[in-house]
Amino acid sequence: MVEMRGISKRFPGVLANDRVDLDVAAGSIHALLGENGAGKSTLMHILSGLYRPDSGTMKVEDRTVSFASPLDAIRAGVGMVHQHFMLVETQTVAENVVLGDRRLGFRMDPSAIRDTVAGLGRESGLDIDPDALIWQLSVGERQRVEIVKMLHRGARLLILDEPTAVLTPQEADTLFDRMRGMARAGRTLLFISHKLNEVMELAETVTVMRQGRVVDTVPKAQVSHRELVRMMVGSPVLFDVTVPPVQQGRKLLSLRSLRVENDRGHTAVDNLSLDLHQREILGVAGVAGNGQRELAEAITGLRKLQAGTIELDGFDVTGSNQRRMIDLGISWVPQDRQHTGTAPNLSIQENFDLKHYRSARRGPFLDRAGQSRRAAALLAKYRVAAAGRHQPVRLLSGGNLQKVILARELSTELRVLVAESPTRGLDVGAIQNVHELLMEQRSRGVAILLLSEDLQEVLSLSDRVAVIHSGRIMGILPRARAEADTIGMLMAGVVPEDMAT
Amino acid sequence: MTGSTASGTMPSGRLRLRLEARDQPGLLTHLAVSLLLLVAALLLAGVVMTVAGGNPLDVYRSMFGAGFGSKWGLNDTLVKMVPLTLASLGVALAFRMKMWNIGAEGQLLMGALAASGIALFAVPPDMPQWLALVLMAAAGAAGGAVWGIVPGWLRAQFGVNEIISTLMLNYVALSIVQFFVYGPWGERGFGLTPMFERNTWLPRLTEYADQWSALRGLTLHLGILAVPVAIVFLAILLNRTKFGFEIAMVGDNPDAARYAGVRLRRTMIIVMALSGALAGLAGMNEVSGVVHRLLEHISPGYGYTAIIVAWLGRFNPLAVAVVAFLFGGLIVGADEIQSAGISSLLQGVILFVMVSGNLLIRYRIRLREPETLA
């Protein structure tokens, strides 16, 4: 059905696809497996006409193709269902399905369209009421509308980008049934996933990608969980970090049976318990979207707990708000540097002071002289490359922005540091710098919770590694026993036999 | 991964305009661009006047003369400037936090209503003037504040869009004022209350004519003193206080503010209260300093003009006051030439040109050489 040869695509700073070959057999269910940033989405965006490859050739149904837009792709029979749906909320299912369809003339025949849509739904097993308004539908139903939309436009190859990411487990099961049905009816399905379980359950063939390259394409029947994990994570080269031996201190932060919901009201952190000690880095490994963000927000007081308790140094601080958690010495390096960690149009100095301004002993007034002194000192100490302390932070590079955040979070009397993907997107030198800063805090007695998708980083820095999957801790391993493929399996939600006791 | 399409090859080889971001526009850029845009707006409005059969030069000359050309004109301009500045500063304060309070008109009306209530019913004729004025100012500020708190609270608690709620509350406030001036407080159905007692009047310059004869006949009242006080108060609040810093944070990135421990809801409600209070003071000034009674048309749309003024002053207290002064002159000048619509036309055109020309401050325009395909 599809034959991609030597596909390369470069984005500023990264080679997203490096001479990728991919073959997909007609009528099969094919999985594209890999960690975040492995290049899966880029490859699929190329196949669906959203990006043009820098080099390489593509054949669809034995015809050489070159797509200038998704419209070209759908004409060739390739349709993609994105993670974020593109539907008009106030219109009906039928209207959404035919929206933008160039085959329609100026006049529409609503009842004919309704019948066509309903027919397509029945045929593919995706029952949807063509008259329902999109905003009334659940996420799972909206996804069906997207699929029917692609079928209506004549997609013979359907690409699904992490189709289960937004679904409940029940909805996911239904989706899998429908996908099998469509494959039996002769359509080809290609889905992106980083969830091992669903790949093993659904796919006939699996292509594993890592760092922009295809590691291998294998029939599912001939491969085990463990082998897939090895292909996904490779054998990570540890960072060159000196981990000075320290005497672990007393228990500082204690999380007991936390339950936290995400923005959509689903359980994101489920009955989670962790202890964090002085002079300890506890790494939490996990694929993005498994509750890390919600966990960090719960600890730092930004997100409400549905259940459970948080103790800080023996005191119950459950239910404290963000302001109090800051005052208690909980620092937080958030994952989203631009949208959470900084105010982009404010200056470096002001961003240094985002929290600290409150502690000035000047009644309602700011201590402007103190701010300037502090900013100058931090700028020098953390070697932020900037035109000066009055430069707006939006003009800083990722690495320097992170330095500003770290400078702010580490320059207080902190006891606990929650660090979310602290080196994501940084270059090697900056990464080294961040790691050294974390180690310095560890030596000073700070308890560090390191949440990261980067296995290499977690393994290099952590005294203990906890693995999170679907909001639960799958296991906690001491540094000595933390091996990449065990952790990889736990990350995928599979408990290896030798650990299941 | 970015969701957008990748940048493709340049489709055309024509010479075209390109926008290039300036790093940090300085004060000089601001001033130069603003002046340029003002001239452009006057030209544009002049074209409209010419088409309508007028001579824009004559119009501008007589307007300028009326507003700024004499002691009397200047007096009138300053009288108009007082409510305009107060209301505009209120609007600017809210805009700093990206709270789009367009309800200054309603807040002004409620302030005028509350101050009038005090003047009519709570001030005995023998009360000292200063006490009466303080009471009226407090009531005016409170009346405006309540009209700001309501939409502020709705926004903070339920996410109700404050643009809609503040706008709607303007009409509610007008109806309430109408009810009182035609109903319980009214005088023979003319839409106005009886004249207040003398001790509730803000003193006018003409009252000091015995000492300084030059002041004879000047209607400018002591409410003008509120202008520098409000400017300094706001400048300090915004630039020197912790609360002002929180406003800047919320205005730039509410998520980062929340992350930094700012109590968002509380901040929103307080800002809306202050914003409304300033507009309410404007209303008090009008009833106590200008007309000495409450009437239906106490405001010729000061609250709406304030939005334009705040925007043109780029939410900077001093700049807002300067613009308010110019707009005061514009209103006086338009009254003088007796041509209904000229004032609104100019206000509209100036805002339109300034807002669309705003990008000149942040970008410079370059001619782009034809792209050569690599």
| pLDDT of B14 | 53
pLDDT greater than 60 at residue B135: yes
Partner residue facing A343 (CB), from B5, B8, B249: B249
Q: Any chain B CB within 8 A of the CB of A14?
A: no
Q: Could you tell me if A265 and A154 lie in one domain? A: no
Task: Determine the straight-line distance between the first and last CA of chain A, rounded to whole angstroms.
Answer: 45
- A321·B248 Cβ contact <8 A: no
Reading the block at residue B8, the tokens are: 């493709």
Amino acid (one-letter) located at B119:
A
Q: Could you tell me if A228 and A267 lie in one domain? A: no
Dihedrals φ, ψ of A317, to 5°? -115, 15
Nearest CA in chain A to B260: A355
> Cα(B114)–Cα(B279) distance, rounded to whole angstroms?
12
Weakest-pLDDT range from A102-106, A231-235, A398-402: A102-106
- Better-predicted residue by pLDDT, B10 or B40: B40
pLDDT greater than 70 at residue A105: no
Sign of the CA dihedral with B365 first, then B366, B367, and B373 last: negative
| pLDDT of B8 | 39
- Opening angle at CA A352, ends A347 and A356, nearest 5: 130
- Name every chain A residue with its beta carbon within 8 A of the beta carbon of B6: 11, 51-52
Q: Looking at residues A340-344, what average pLDDT do you find? A: 93
> Cα(B106)–Cα(B143) distance, rounded to whole angstroms?
10
| pLDDT of A278 | 94
- Name every chain A residue with its beta carbon within 8 A of the beta carbon of B235: none
As to burial, measured by CB atoms within 10 angstroms (0-12 exposed, 13-18 middle, 19+ buried), residue B37 is buried
As to burial, measured by CB atoms within 10 angstroms (0-12 exposed, 13-18 middle, 19+ buried), residue B347 is buried
Weakest-pLDDT range from A218-227, B125-134, B136-145, B230-239: A218-227
| pLDDT of B228 | 97
- Name every chain B residue with its beta carbon within 8 A of the beta carbon of A353: 245
Nearest CA in chain B to A321: B261
Q: Could you tell me if A14 and A43 lie in one domain? A: yes
Residue with tokens 């009437």: B295
- Name every chain B residue with its beta carbon within 8 A of the beta carbon of A302: 258-259
Cβ atoms within 10 Å, residue B90: 35
> Cα(B90)–Cα(B111) distance, rounded to whole angstroms?
13
Contact call for residues A189 and A183 (beta carbons, < 8 A): yes
pLDDT greater than 90 at residue A109: no
Q: Looking at residues A328-355, what average pLDDT do you find? A: 93
* Mutate: best of B1, B266, B314, partner A, most A CBs <10 A: B1
Q: Pick the last residue of a domain from A233, A260, A277.
A: A233
Q: Could you tell me if A290 and A198 lie in one domain? A: no
- What length does chain B have? 374
pLDDT greater than 60 at residue B1: no
> Cα(A130)–Cα(A144) distance, rounded to whole angstroms?
11
Q: Could you tell me if A301 and A439 lie in one domain? A: yes
- A343·B240 Cβ contact <8 A: no
pLDDT greater than 70 at residue A447: yes
Q: Looking at residues B253-268, what average pLDDT do you find? A: 95
Buried b (16+ CB within 10 A) or exposed e, A181-204: ebbeeebbbbbbbbbbebbbebbe
Q: Could you tell me if A219 and A271 lie in one domain? A: no
pLDDT greater than 80 at residue B27: no
- Domain presence at residue B368: no
Q: Indicate the pLDDT class of residue A500, thresholds 50, 70 and 90.
A: low
Rounded to 10°, the helix A169-184/A139-152 angle is 20
Contact call for residues A366 and A357 (beta carbons, < 8 A): yes
pLDDT per residue as tens digits for the range A260-311: 998 878 899 999 999 999 999 999 998 888 899 999 999 999 999 999 999 9
Reading the block at residue B55, the tokens are: 């001579």
Q: Could you tell me if A80 and A139 lie in one domain? A: yes
Q: Could you tell me if A101 and A229 lie in one domain? A: yes
Weakest-pLDDT range from A262-271, A469-478, B28-37, B52-61: B28-37
Q: Select from A308, A214, A228 the least CA-distant residue to A268.
A: A308
Task: For residue A224, give the DSSP letter.
Answer: -
pLDDT greater than 50 at residue B163: yes
- Opening angle at CA A262, ends A258 and A266, nearest 5: 90
Helix, strand, coil shares of chain B, percent, nearest 5, are 70, 5, 25
Which residues form the domain of A62?
2-233
Weakest-pLDDT range from A96-105, A342-351, B34-43, B346-355: A96-105
A-proximal residues of B, 21-60, CB under 8 Å: 23-24
Nearest CA in chain A to B2: A42
Contact call for residues A460 and A470 (beta carbons, < 8 A): no
Q: Select from A335, A274, A330 the least CA-distant residue to A301.
A: A330
Count how many domains chain A has.
2
Q: Indicate the pLDDT class of residue B5, thresholds 50, 70 and 90.
A: very low
- Domain presence at residue B361: no
Phi-psi region of B90 (alpha: psi -120 to 50; beta: other; left: phi over 0): alpha
Reading the block at residue B339, the tokens are: 């041509």
Task: Return the CA Rg of chain B.
Answer: 23
Q: Could you tell me if A446 and A478 lie in one domain? A: yes
Residue with tokens 């459950």: A318
The chain-wide mean pLDDT, for chain A, equals 89
- Domain presence at residue A58: yes
| pLDDT of B200 | 94
pLDDT per residue as tens digits for the range A379-404: 999 988 888 899 999 888 888 899 99
Q: Select from B4, B18, B95 the least CA-distant residue to B316.
A: B95
Q: Any chain B CB within 8 A of the CB of A45?
A: yes
- Better-predicted residue by pLDDT, B214 or B165: B165
Q: Could you tell me if A181 and A222 lie in one domain? A: yes
At A323, which CATH number? Answer: 3.40.50.300
Q: How many CB pairs under 8 A join A and B?
A: 79
Q: Indicate the pLDDT class of residue B336, thresholds 50, 70 and 90.
A: confident
Q: Looking at residues A70-77, what average pLDDT do you find? A: 91
Weakest-pLDDT range from B58-67, B89-98, B193-202: B58-67
Q: Looking at residues B119-141, what average pLDDT do you find? A: 95
Q: Select from A329, A476, A342, A297 the least CA-distant residue to A410.
A: A329
The DSSP line for B173-185 is HHHHHHHHHHTTT
Contact call for residues A476 and A280 (beta carbons, < 8 A): no
- Name every chain B residue with its beta carbon within 8 A of the beta carbon of A360: 242
| pLDDT of B236 | 97
Q: Any chain B CB within 8 A of the CB of A394?
A: no
Partner residue facing B253 (CB), from A321, A344, A360: A344
Count how many domains chain B has.
1
pLDDT greater than 60 at residue B12: no
- Domain presence at residue B284: yes
Which residues form the domain of B298?
71-338
> Cα(B210)–Cα(A206) distance, rounded to whole angstroms?
98
Q: Select from A20, A447, A455, A48 the least CA-distant residue to A254.
A: A447
Partner residue facing A341 (CB), from B3, B243, B259: B259
Buried b (16+ CB within 10 A) or exposed e, A309-323: ebbbbeeebeebebb
pLDDT per residue as tens digits for the range B86-126: 999 999 999 999 999 999 999 999 999 999 999 999 999 99
Nearest CA in chain B to A345: B252
Contact call for residues A285 and A465 (beta carbons, < 8 A): yes
Q: Indicate the pLDDT class of residue B7, thresholds 50, 70 and 90.
A: very low
- Domain presence at residue A498: no
pLDDT greater than 60 at residue B372: no
- Better-predicted residue by pLDDT, A483 or B119: B119
At B192, which CATH number? Answer: 1.10.3470
Buried b (16+ CB within 10 A) or exposed e, B154-185: bbbeeeeebeebbbebbeebbebbeebbeeeb
Task: For residue A134, give the DSSP letter.
Answer: G
Q: Could you tell me if A333 and A427 lie in one domain? A: yes
B314 Cβ neighbours under 8 A, 6+ residues apart: B30
- Opening angle at CA A404, ends A402 and A407, nearest 5: 105
pLDDT greater than 60 at residue B369: no
- Domain presence at residue A496: no
- Domain presence at residue B355: no
| pLDDT of A232 | 83
Q: Looking at residues A25-34, what average pLDDT do you find? A: 93
- Domain presence at residue A240: no
> Cα(B125)–Cα(B136) distance, rounded to whole angstroms?
14
Q: Could you tell me if A193 and A305 lie in one domain? A: no
pLDDT greater than 70 at residue B22: no
Cβ atoms within 10 Å, residue A370: 16
Contact call for residues B112 and B302 (beta carbons, < 8 A): no
> Cα(A33)–Cα(A206) distance, rounded to whole angstroms?
7
pLDDT greater than 70 at residue B76: yes
Stretch (H or E) spanning A17: strand A14-24
> Residue A59 forms beta bridges with which residues?
A3, A64
Give the 3-state secondary structure of residue A297. Answer: helix
> Cα(A231)–Cα(A484) distance, rounded to whole angstroms?
11
| pLDDT of A493 | 81
- Domain presence at residue B124: yes
> Cα(A201)–Cα(A272) distance, rounded to whole angstroms?
27
Q: Any chain B CB within 8 A of the CB of A425?
A: no
Q: Pick the last residue of a domain from A201, A233, A265.
A: A233
| pLDDT of B2 | 37
pLDDT greater than 60 at residue A27: yes
Nearest CA in chain A to B255: A340
- Domain presence at residue B242: yes
pTM of the model: 0.79
